[in-house]
Amino acid sequence: MKEVVLITGASGMIARELAYRLGTQYNVRLLTRRKKQDNEYEWDPGKRSIDEAALDNVSHIIHLAGANISEKRWTPERKRQLISSRVDSAELLRTALKKNNIKLKSFISASGINFYGTVTSEKIFQEDDLPGNDFLSEVVVQWERAADDFKEQDLAERVVKIRTAVVLSEKDGALKKMITPVQYYIGSPLGSGKQYMPWIHIDDICSIYEFALKNSGMHGPYNAVSPQHITNAEFTKKMAKVLHKPLLMPNVPEFVLKLIFGELANAVLKGSRASSQKIQNAGFQFKFPEVTEALNDLLK
């Protein structure tokens, strides 16, 4: 009998790809706000409602729910949404598991590489480094604390936290937004362009979740980031080369981005490096460790 894996954040690109990939090996269920398929179950964390049938015989939860960090300006209300969409949804799951006396084999939570703060430095961050002190770091710290509660409250045998870098996919997300100006000859690096851009191919991030699901020895945080470190300027040049487009425009000035996006601009104007050594030491092998290979796969 197949184990039941429940995935939250059903509308996201990682959830869709991961559900497809795991479908032949597990009984995959999805939590969504509006049911469209037989394996989908409705929930609304804001209203604290969930179809508890989704939890019948569940062994694993992969928690991917969370409002898009870069979708809107960070107003005070938006900041509250970014945190509550991650923390309150986890709390709703904990409450439902307690009510139904269910203990998971594993609770695997999405997390963010911005745990270490939005900074540009020469440091290569590892999982045992301390968190940063800006808003994105605060979001991730609360996100991970909500995940850790599953172990502390004896609702899961283990908790794994996947600190995810910028996910590259041809279907959705950051890459789709980045290639558009390049295709129209108005692409250019952002700010100084010297900020590092931690990244990972969609195939590799899904493989990491599958790897974490199948390897019961994995516990705690793991950086889900390509081994290759690259700056925003270097990434933009490689993207233009793969697309066979020239980069004609000067760098987008920092003040322009701050005028348009406000505090959110820091998410793209700053960035440091993070190590992938821990996940590799666990036995994971990247399919796309280099950005040129990744872009060729996605854009050609």
175 contacts 164 by C-beta, under 8 angstroms: no
Percent of the chain exceeding pLDDT 70 equals 100
Q: Report the relative pairing of strands 159-164 and 106-112 from DSSP bridges.
A: parallel
Per-residue confidence (pLDDT) for residue 70, from 0 to 100: 87
Q: Is the dihedral of CA 142, 213, 68, 10 positive or negative?
A: negative
Question: Which pTM was predicted?
Answer: 0.95
pLDDT tens figures, 80-108: 999 999 999 999 999 999 999 999 999 99
Tokens at residue 130, please? 């301390």
**Strand segments (E) across the chain:** 4-7, 27-32, 40-44, 49-50, 58-63, 106-112, 124-125, 159-164, 166-168, 199-201, 220-224, 273-274
Per-residue confidence (pLDDT) for residue 239, from 0 to 100: 94
pLDDT tens figures, 188-202: 999 999 999 999 999
pLDDT tens figures, 247-274: 988 889 888 888 888 888 888 889 999 9
Per-residue confidence (pLDDT) for residue 232, from 0 to 100: 95
Per-residue confidence (pLDDT) for residue 18, from 0 to 100: 97
Per-residue confidence (pLDDT) for residue 266, from 0 to 100: 85
Per-residue confidence (pLDDT) for residue 20, from 0 to 100: 95
pLDDT tens figures, 133-171: 999 999 999 999 999 999 999 999 999 999 999 999 998
Average pLDDT score over the chain: 94
What domains can be seen in the chain, in order of their start residue?
4-231+264-299 (3.40.50.720)
Per the listing, tokens 């290569």 go with 124
- The three-state secondary structure class of 45 is helix
Per-residue confidence (pLDDT) for residue 269, from 0 to 100: 87
Residue 177 has pLDDT above 90, yes or no: no
Contacts of 21 (CB under 8 A, 6+ apart): 206, 210
* Angle of helix 202-214 versus helix 13-22 axis, rounded to 10: 50
277-291: b (≥16 Cβ within 10 Å) or e: ebbeeeebebebbeb
